[in-house]
Amino acid sequence: MADYIRTIPQEKFDMSIYRSGQEETPECDSIGCVVGHCTILDSEELPMVFYSKNIDFYTWSEQFTGLIKTDSSMPEWRLHGPEWMWCFDTYWAATDNTPGGAARRIEWLLKNGLPGNWEAQMMGEEPLCYM
């Protein structure tokens, strides 16, 4: 995902939306975030998940990445776990809304694990560790 998302031009990237336009095929030919663009990486072994003819981006991203909410102590309103949020949450649109930043967050998670202050970084309250 990190390698692929680096190929997306800034003008086609926005962490605040999964994808605008057609959502019936894996190809994203519009503005979208990491999850919206990376559905193209899906394989036949992991069939695309649809909801009312549109891709169910939440379910797909959890299945594709394995970043499933497992911490029962997290509030109910949080749909995803901290690792998922570090990589894909819409809050990044106000802090680091770039394909390069998204790629570096994914790589940081894989190499170093989740930063202890991940949420403060995501909210722009502390410096980004991956810059």
**Distance (Å, whole) CA 29 – CA 47:** 20
Predicted local distance difference test score (pLDDT) of residue 47: 54
Count the helices and strands in the chain (H runs, E runs): 7, 2
pTM, rounded to two decimals: 0.79
Question: Cβ distance 13 to 98 under 8 Å?
Answer: yes
CA distances from 40 to 1, 56, 86, 108, 112 (A): 10, 14, 21, 23, 27
Q: What is the pLDDT of residues 67-109, one digit of tens each?
A: 876 666 555 545 678 898 999 999 999 999 999 999 999 999 9
Predicted local distance difference test score (pLDDT) of residue 86: 94
Residues sharing a CB contact under 8 Å with residue 127, sequence separation 6 or more, in sequence order: 121
pLDDT > 90 in the chain, percent: 44
Q: Which two tokens stand for residue 49?
A: 């998940």
